[in-house]
C-alpha cells in the first residue's frame, strides 16, 4: 500500500527518495509540466518519422535492431495509456527468460548466472515507468525495452547477465495521469538487486 510521504513544512516537499524495507517506495512529488502545442506537435512529428524509418529500415536500409532478431513484435502500445515507454507490444521471444521478477520482488535480491536472461515486469496502466539506473556492464538491456505485454498488463524489460557481480536496476514511475483530471504528485520507486554468479 502506498503512503504519502511526510511533508517538510518549509518547502512543502516530501523526502528526497530512498527505499523502504520491502516493495516499492514513494519518493518526492513529480512536478506537473505544461507543454506548448507547437512543441508537442513537433515531438509527435519526429516520433512519427522515426517510427516510419524504423518500420521500413530492417529489410530496406540494412538496419539491425538488437534483440529483435530472435523475437517478433505483435502490436503497438500507447504509452499515454499503459505507462510503458516502448511503443512495441506483445513481443514474442524465441527464448524464454531464465528469471522473471515482478514489482513484489523489488527491494530484495535476485540471483542469476552469467548468460541468464532476466525479465522484469512492472504493472501497466498506473505509473509512467522509466529505467533510472542499471544496465551496467554486468547487465545488457535487450530491445525493445519497456514494451507492453497486454496478456499480463505489464511493462517488460529484459536483461542478459554479462559478468559476475551485483547491480541494482531501478525504475521510477510517477502516477499516470488522465487528461483534465486531478492527479497525485507521488512517484513510485522500484529497485531490483541482481546478484550474478
Q: What is the mean pLDDT of residues 55-66?
A: 32
DSSP string, 73-110: EEEE--HHHH--SSSEEEEEESS--SEEEEGGGTTSEE
User: Is residue 14 pLDDT above 60, yes or no?
Assistant: no
The tens digit of pLDDT for each residue in 77-129 reads 889 899 999 988 889 898 999 999 999 999 899 999 999 999 999 999 999 99
Is the backbone peptide bond immediately before 28 cis, with ω within 30 degrees of 0? no
User: Is residue 186 pLDDT above 50, yes or no?
Assistant: yes
Sign of the alpha-carbon dihedral angle for 126, 132, 138, 139: positive
Amino acid at each position: 500500500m502506498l503512503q504519502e510521504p511526510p511533508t517538510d513544512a518549509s518547502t512543502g516537499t516530501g523526502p528526497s527518495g530512498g527505499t523502504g524495507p520491502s516493495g516499492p517506495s514513494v519518493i518526492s512529488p513529480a512536478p506537473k509540466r505544461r507543454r506548448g502545442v507547437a512543441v508537442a506537435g513537433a515531438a509527435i512529428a519526429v516520433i512519427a518519422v522515426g517510427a516510419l524509418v524504423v518500420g521500413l529500415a530492417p529489410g530496406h536500409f540494412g538496419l539491425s535492431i538488437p534483440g529483435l532478431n530472435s523475437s517478433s513484435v505483435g502490436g503497438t502500445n500507447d504509452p499515454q495509456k499503459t505507462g510503458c515507454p516502448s511503443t512495441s507490444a506483445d513481443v514474442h521471444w524465441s527464448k524464454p527468460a531464465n528469471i522473471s521478477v515482478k514489482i513484489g520482488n523489488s527491494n530484495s535480491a535476485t540471483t542469476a548466472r552469467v548468460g541468464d536472461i532476466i525479465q522484469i515486469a512492472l504493472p501497466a496502466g498506473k505509473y509512467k515507468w522509466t529505467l533510472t539506473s542499471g544496465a551496467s556492464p554486468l547487465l545488457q538491456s535487450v530491445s525493445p525495452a519497456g514494451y507492453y505485454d497486454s496478456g499480463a498488463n505489464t511493462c517488460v524489460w529484459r536483461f542478459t547477465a554479462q559478468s559476475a557481480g551485483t547491480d541494482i536496476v531501478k525504475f521510477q514511475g510517477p502516477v499516470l495521469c488522465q487528461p483534465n483530471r486531478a492527479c497525485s504528485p507521488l512517484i513510485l520507486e522500484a529497485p531490483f538487486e541482481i546478484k550474478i554468479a
